[in-house]
Structure formats: C-alpha cells, structure tokens
Structure 1
Amino acid sequence: MDMGPHSLLDTSPLKWHGKIFDGEWRDAEGGAIPVVEPATGKDLGTVGAASVRDVRRCVTRAREARAAWAAAPYIERAGVLRRAAELWTEHSTEVQDWLMRESGGVRRKAMYELRGAVQECLEAAALPSHALGEVLPSEKADLSMSRRVPVGVVAVIAPFNLPLKLSIRSVAPALALGNAVLLKPDPRTPVSGGLVLARIFEEAGLPPGLLHILPGGADIGSALVTDPGVRAVSFTGSSRTGRVVGELAARHLTRAHLELGGNSALIVMADADLDRAVPAAAHGSFFHQGQGCMVVGRHLVHESIYDTYVERLAEKAGSLTVGNPMTEDVALGPLIDEHQRDSVHALVTGSVDAGARLLTGGTYNGLFYRPTVLANTGPGAPAYENEVFGPVASVTPFATADDAVRLANDSVYGLSLGVLTADVGAGLALADRIPTGTAHINDQTLNDDANAPFGGMGESGNASRFGGAAANIEAYTDTRWITARATIPSYPM
C-alpha cells in the first residue's frame, strides 16, 4: 500500500534539533536557536546556532568539495536540480505547514513559496546546458574564446518574510552552475528558510559539502561576507543592513548581489476599473501581512476617483479576517514578532499624528495586526515615506500624470511599480518615466517569476542580480579569456 512520502524533517532530536548542516548534521558551536510559532508563541524545536569557527570550517569544506562538482558532467548537476524540483512537490504539505507555522503565513502564501521553489529549481536545471562562453575574433592565428567558470563559494543571506522563496532563488542557480553554497537563514525562520533546503538537496543526491546551513545573527553574516574563501554573496534584506553587507564585501573585493527594501507605488489612473483595481490593490498591500519588499506601500490615486477608491479599499480591508492560519481559514496571519509589530504601529500612529486619516485598522491583538488604510497621506507621513513591512496602505490623490510621476519618484527606493489603467500604452509611457527594477501595467507590484530578471534601483539594491538565465549566469560565474595556438609563435626578443 502507498503510504505517501516519508517525513522530510524527522522530529527526532537525534536528527536536526540543535544542529547545523555541512553535508552532515553536526553539533553547533554557537549554542541553540529556538524555533517559535508567531501565532501561538509555541516552541517548535531548536536549531543549532553557528559560530564564526563553524563558518571558517564550512568554507574550507566547501572549497574542497566544489572542484569535483564544477567538473561533473552538466547533466549530473542538472539532474540534481530536477530531482529537487520533484521533491518539493512530493513534500509540499509538510513544507507548507512549516512555512505557515514558522513565518505566520497563510496557506496561499505557503503555496506561492512552494511553487516558486519548484520553478527556481527547474529554471536552474537548465543553466548547466547553456552555452557558457563564446568564440571571439582574433587577429592572430589562434583560437580565442571567453568562458564562464564558477565563482567558487557563494554565501546566501536570506530574510524571514519569504524564507524558502528568497533562499532557493540564489541557492539553486549557484549550485547548478558548479558552486558550493553557505546559506544563513534568518534565525526566526531557520527551518523553512534553511533546514528544509538541506533535506531536499540531501535527498536529491547533492554531494556532501556543497550546501551548508548556518543559522545565526549579524556576526555570522559578517563572517560569511569577509571570509577570503567566499567569492560572492547574495543578500536579501533591509537597505540598512544591505549597506553594511555591501561595504564589507567591497572592502574584501567580494562580489555582492543586494536585493533590499522597497516602498512601491501603485498608480491608479482615472480610467481604471475599480471593481478589479481594489482587490488587486488589497492583495498588493496585505499579502503576508504586508511583510514584503515588493508590496504596495503608496497608493497614488487620481483625484476624480479618490474618494470612491479609499472608501472601497477600507471596506475591503475591514472585511479581511486575521488569525492563526494553522487553525482558521484567514486572509492574514500574525506579524513575525513584537519588534515588527511595534515598528508597524509606530509608523501608523505617527502618520495619524502628522494628519493622516485612519479609515480602518490601526489596532492589534498580540501579533495579529488589522489591515490598515490611511487616507490623506503623503510626504511627511511616516507610513507613506518609509517601508512599513506591515499591512498598511497609504493613499494619496494626484491631479495629473505629471503629479503621479513626481510622487512616485519621490522615494529613495526603486524596486517595483504598478499602473492600473484602461490605456495600456499610456501605462507603459508612464512607467518609462519612473525608474524601478520592475514595472507592471494593470497589476499590483508583487510579482516575481523564476525566469525573469529581478532587482531594484536606489536603496532597493544594485540592479537585476536575481532571476533569469542571464542574471544568474552573471551572478554566479566569472569570465575567463582563453586562447590556443597550434604552435608556439616566434618572438623577436
């Protein structure tokens, strides 16, 4: 009888509790990190806390393991990534449950991350068979060519909000292109952002020593960025921390790929279909409790439809249910922790003090924050000017397209943009005037396909370093120039 897939994460303390992963499950030198369910405060287990010595040891092992992996036939590397894609599907229910319990996301959000993991692995599986070089013209009688070679050891530092999606999008292509990877998941989501990847790739047949999971704090991140054996670092997180990572990486001549914060604008033109615009806007602001760099932070709405829009958005927000996603069918789960809740609430109350009108929300019970709509915001309102990372929609009117462009551009961030309009051509023209890493006409800002380049401008990062074959090959390989001649040439010396 078919009993279904076995458990991916054995709950026995002999397997992973209190451990780190370097191809094997080992005791960590840095102690233990509790895994806590935000919705209930319940302890779900412990993972090992890496020490700086653990980092150094893992870098050494990764360097030793990667040469054989880089030299392996491309079909072998592709096969591991394809098998990993299959395993995500086979273990989808278990992984979804971990994502929901550990990050507080609802089932729909967990399914989004799972689909992303499958697609990232399938896209990565195609990378080893790409033509990784080209033949160059030469004035000499030789063969001149460029060749893409693996960078070596890659560090990946991932956040808590989409812990699986934002880890696998760097881990999968880096491995596929012949590198070894050291992954530091956020200590608040070390299982769904770290240990599940270890188990998937372990079962997929990845040779030991190529993937290391090192939960820890800022000291572990610094150790990864500054270790001379690490040649590239992929960081997703806040702009403030990203600046530190970028500075450390530059000082050590380490390549840094930074995807940072955002405060994306959604421009709603006068001719937009409000029956579709309002639900799309609500999704853009309230998906995963607003804990995302791409979520809609600023709703810029034409003055002719402004009153109707804010009324309907507030009505939609007020109808959304909030609760424990593991026990209730809800639209929003909890925020990740008290620090995040207090930060969100301070931005909301500060905006009301600055003159914004609170239409709905602005209250919480424990970590459960009600979806919030603020009207009459704009420059000077904290929730309008800053990345909130919570379920808060700031809505402000504009009179002309030029006004919308000015407001959208009045931000240090440049990650994503949405334009809702009946005139697609006008929407594209408007997007051309607003520099962002991604732009979506007749959609909200929260979009991320595995085969599409992704990144931000300004304080949102250093351009498209994630997603798509070209971006991934650029991120995780170096270019060498190689020539070959039939005979040694004569020189006058």
Structure 2
Amino acid sequence: MVLNVRVKCLYCRTKAVQRASTRPARSARSRRLAVTNVTTAIKKSVLLTARGWTGEAYSGGWFRGAGDQMPVIEKATLSQLAVVDQITTAQLDQVAERARDARKGWAADPQLRRSVLLRACEILEANRGEVVEWIVRESGSIPAKGNGEVTDSIAELANAADLATEEHGVILRKGGTELTSVAERVPYGTVGIITPWNVPLLLAMRSVAPALGLGNTVILKPDNQTAISGGILIARVLEEAGVPSGVFNVVPGAGTVIGEALILHPLVGLVSFTGSTMTGRRIASLAAPLLKKVALELGGKNPHVVLADADVDGAAASGAWGTFQHQGQVCMAIGRHIVDSEVVDRYTSNLVARAAILRQGDPFVDEVELGPLINERQAAHVEEIVEDARARGAVVVGGERHGAFMPPTVISGVVPGMRAYGEEIFGPVAVVIAAKSDEDAIRIANDTEYGLSASVHSADLLRANSVADRIRSGMVHINAQPINDNPWSPMGGLGASGSGGRFGGPANVEMFTTWRWRTTRTVPERGFFPEPKSQSGHVSLD
C-alpha cells in the first residue's frame, strides 16, 4: 500500500520548548488571558489571590507543607508558573484525624452537602476563565478541552448535589410484626483520592463530588504535574462554597511517599485511583493486606472497529477525534484502528489527510488543535514505540518529535510483535490494523489485557451491535469513538483497565457507599435459652 498524503511537520514554534522568561507577541485574545509570571498571576487571579495563596496545602484552612516545594511548570514553554508545598507523612496523619473528626456532622446533614455542592457549581462557573487558563498552561490542553473539563466538572457537582438528598436503601421483609428491617447505604468515612495529570480537574471531581455528596470526607492527592488545576483550585472552590473544616483536604506530595501513605492509612476506608495500570497494580498490592476497598480506573488499548460496510469518511473523522484529542493522552483514546481489509486503504488515507491538517503548538498562545505532551520523557516514550514499528516494517506517516511536541502520526501495517500492537501509547499515534472479517476484527479487538472502551462502525446497526456484544470492554459505542463520559452513566473497564468498579450515575452510590443492614424491634429479642426460675429474673451472685 502506498500512502500518497504526507503529514507535514506541525511543530511551529521551536523556541516554545526552551526555558525562557520572555514570550513571543500574542494575539489580543491571548493577551487578555496571558499570565507572564507568578507575580502577575497572583495579581490577576480570583480564586488564588482572594486569600493570597503562596503554595500551601489545604485542610481546615491553608497550611504550609513541611516537605520540599515543587515547581508548577508550563508544559509548552517549561517556564515556572508557581510552586506548591509538599506535605510530610506526619502532616498527613493530622489531616486524616481532622477528616475523621468531620465525618459525623457532614454525613448527618444532607441539606448542607447539597447546598455546598450547588454553591460550588456557581463559583466554578464564575471563575471559568481562570480555571481554564490553569488547565491549558499546566497540562498542555487546548482551551476547548479546558472548557470541557469545567463544564463536565460542574455537571459532576450538580449530580452529586442530587445524590446528597436522595434515599439510598431498601426496606426488607420484616420477619415478624415486631421487627423493622432495612438495608441502607452508608459512607465509607474518609475516601482517599489519587488523580492523574491528563484531565486533572474532571478526573478529580469525578470522585470528589460524589464522595462528598454521599457523606464521606475526602483527602485528595493530585498529580504533582497538575497540582493547581487538579487540587488547589478545587480546594479554593469548595472553600468559597462553605465546606466545613476537615471535610475536604488537598495533600500535595510524591506518589511514592504521600500517595502510598494515604493508601495505607488506617483512617482511610476507600481509595479511588485513576491512572496507569502499573501504578494501579501497585496500589492494589498495598491495599490487599489491609482488605481495603480500592476503585481503580486504569489504562486502555481501546479498539475502533470499522466494518466493510461502514461510512469510511465518518469512521475516519471519529477515528481522528478519538485518537488525537489532547494529544492522545486519554485513557479512553483509540489504541487500535481495526479496519476491514476491503476498506483499510481508503480509511488510512482519509485518516492521514485528517492528521495532516492538525496544527500543533503552544495552546496558550497559538490557535492550535494539539499542544505538547505532558513532558519530554513521555514524548520520547511515544517516539520509541513509533520507531519500533517502523523498524519492523510498518508504514509510518508523521513528523518528527521536538522536545515534548509529538505531531499526529499514523502507523499502518501493524502486526503482533510490534510494541504499537499491544502497548498503551498515550500519545497522538493512530495504529491501523487490517482485519480479514468481522470475526477477525473481534479476535483482534479482544487480543489485549485491557478492556476499557470500544467503538464499532457499520451501516447495519444489527451487525454493529452483534460485533459490539462480543468485544470484551466496559463500554462500547456504535458509530462513534470510545472517548465518552458523563456524570449519569457508569464508566469503567475490565481486566488491566480497572478493578470492575464504575463511576457515574447509580454506580456512584455503589462506589462511594457500602451496605449496612439495620433492624429495629419493638420488644427485646429474648432468644431460646431457658428463663431463670426467679420471678424477677435476678439471680444472686452471693
């Protein structure tokens, strides 16, 4: 197969990845958003300057972490935006105790929970511009993606506010006229939440909001690479919303220190983690001896199956969006384009043409569709997988990597044995695999340890659903792409993609509460032992 469309080099600002204190000229739109250094950021900010934030952690108020400070880096320029205090394990003990002490009052007042979460919706919306700016600069997102995070996070808060005042339980069979029996859902107590850098605000809020709404207190450890948008800003929003002391806490720190201490802490009843499969396995191994529940939402190698009768142009449009958005740094992103051999050449050429027009650069300054990857190490990892495929005979169409900027790339002719076939790439790389038939497509789709999300394209909906039924995946979408999520639908995966738990809708109640059986009797239960002979029931011990 010959691909006659060439992806041009999309790296348009070489100096953007160099450490520099100066910035190029910006458009009027960009200048209105611009924050050139830490000092001007503090002057301009609303959420962070309202209290004069200078890097602290949060628990019943702001406090200085006793650990080292860590820099907050703008991913496109490598310039420093701010610093954040890391806490120590001794400080974590104090935070956990404060969260424990706050449990009873918070769990007992559903109206307070509802009002705090609804107020948080208003505050987040009112400060949308500031929050989006931090997401863009801290994670390398384009503004549209940052805005989507804010919108979806507000929806998570609103949905959790409804959970706060809903009844969660069932009345059971009495077993007698004097007995009332109920099964009720009760909070775990304190939930530890560890979140990733790729969608920092939303993937934190997806656990924080329902955990709070259902009566838990929360200790959040955001990823250090996005500690502001993934943690500090959430604390500011909830602080302004009136969250009581100790109910919500943010503890920046290293995953191997504070993250592991949070998992092991005896006052933490449930750990919710979103991130890599390798880290998820580590968390599960730490929690297992404690018999502690963990909620793991991990990686994926998600199949995008295109059958022979599919709308090729529509499938390629979905395929490009599901592969390249946020530089492919999404757990639900398409990991494999599994395309029927009858249409694979047309589909691949279409996909390459779509990749070729995507612009890449600094999303804070330039009008682009793709920004940088989270760091140069991750970009180099992606490049290694691409070069492995090239060396093994695959056709690679894409530009060259420049620092953390990896342009959209299409690899065709991928077969087992290539790293691109089985490894999660987490970068802007479309892996195209030809399938001989529907049966072969199903086989390839299931040839993975992952099972997060999937998509199937066909003009025949019965055929598409028949294929979808046989794909081992926690989610599947017909004539769409696999990056789909909302607060009302159960989201999660199987196998190496997660522990089987789900986020969203009714699954939130299952995730963040546990069953408790409660019985009430109008008269004491006497049992079947014989009664004492004394009329009074009192036997002298003399």
Aligning the two structures, in what range does the TM-score lie when normalised by the shorter sequence?
Answer: over 0.9
For 1:259-285, what per-residue CA distance to the aligned partner results, in whole angstroms no more than 9, with x for missing partners?
001010100111211222212111100
Partner residue in 1 for 2:173: 137
Q: Which residue of 1 aligns with 2:200?
A: 163
Cα deviation for residue 482 of structure 1 reads: 1.0
Tell which deviates more after alignment, 264-273 or 155-164: 264-273
**2:411/2:430 contact within 8 Å kept:** yes
Residues 1:113 and 2:149 are matched in the alignment: yes
Say if 1:8 and 1:196, in contact at 8 Å, map to a contact too.
no
Alignment-derived partner of residue 164 in structure 2: 128
d(CA) in 1 for partners of 2:430, 2:60: 44
Give the alignment of 1:353-368 within 5 angstroms: 353-361=391-399, 363-368=400-405
Residue in 1 that maps onto 2:510: 474
TM superposition shift of 1:133 = 1.3
Letter in 2 for 1:93: G
Match of 2:63 among 20, 26, 34: 26
Q: Secondary structure at the match of 1:348?
A: helix
Per-residue CA shift, 1:436-458, capped at 9, x if unaligned? 01000010111011100011101
Is 2:457 the counterpart of 1:420? yes
> Is residue 373 from structure 1 mapped to residue 410 from structure 2 by the alignment?
yes
Q: 1:379 Cα shift?
A: 1.3
CA contact (8 A) 1:16 1:47 kept: no
Please tell me whether residue 226 in structure 1 is matched to residue 259 in structure 2.
no
After TM superposition, list the pairs within 5 Å mapping 1:65-464 onto structure 2. Answer: 65-72=102-109, 74-141=110-177, 142-217=179-254, 218-361=256-399, 363-464=400-501
Q: By how many angstroms is 1:303 displaced?
A: 0.8
Q: Of the candidates 37, 43, 52, which is equivalent to residue 89 of structure 2?
A: 52
Provide runs of 4+ in structure 1 moved above 6 Å: none
Q: Which runs of 5+ in 2 are unaligned?
A: 1-43, 530-542
TM (norm. structure 2) is 0.88
Q: Deviation of residue 11 (structure 1)?
A: 4.6
- Summarize the Cα distance change of 1:186–1:489 in structure 2 as closer, same or farther, 3 Å threshold: closer
Larger Rg, first or second structure (1 or 2)? 2
Residue pair 2:358, 2:370 contacting (<8 A) in 1 also: yes
The letter of the residue matching 1:421 is: S
Aligned partner letter, 2:388: G
Per-residue deviation, 1:139: 2.2
Q: Is the 8 A contact 1:268 1:301 kept in 2?
A: yes
2-side partners of 1:129 and 1:428: how far apart? 37
SS at match of 2:225: coil
What do the CA deviations read for 1:75-127 (whole angstroms, capped 9, x no partner)?
Answer: 22111111111222111111001000000000111111111101101111110
Assess if the C-alpha contact under 8 Å between 1:105 and 1:325 holds in 2. yes
- The question of whether the paired residues in 2 share the 8 Å contact of 1:18 and 1:33 is answered with no
Give the distance between the partners of 2:486 and 2:497, measured in 1 at CA. Answer: 18
Q: TM-score, normalised by structure 1?
A: 0.96
In 2, distance between residues paired with 1:387 and 1:400?
24
Which of 88, 97, 101 is equivalent to 1:64? 101
Cα drift, residue 416 of structure 1: 0.3
Question: RMSD of the TM alignment (CA)?
Answer: 1.3
Identity %: 43
Counterparts of 2:339 and 2:477 in 1: how far apart (Å)?
A: 16
Separation of aligned partners in 2, 1:401 and 1:23: 57
Give CA-to-partner distance per residue, 1:177-220, whole Å, 9 cap, x none.
Answer: 11110001000000000001001111111111111111111211
Paired letter, 1:303: S
Write the distance in 2 (CA, Å) between the matches of 1:75 and 1:225: 30
Residue pair 1:153, 1:232 contacting (<8 A) in 2 also: yes
SS at match of 1:164: helix
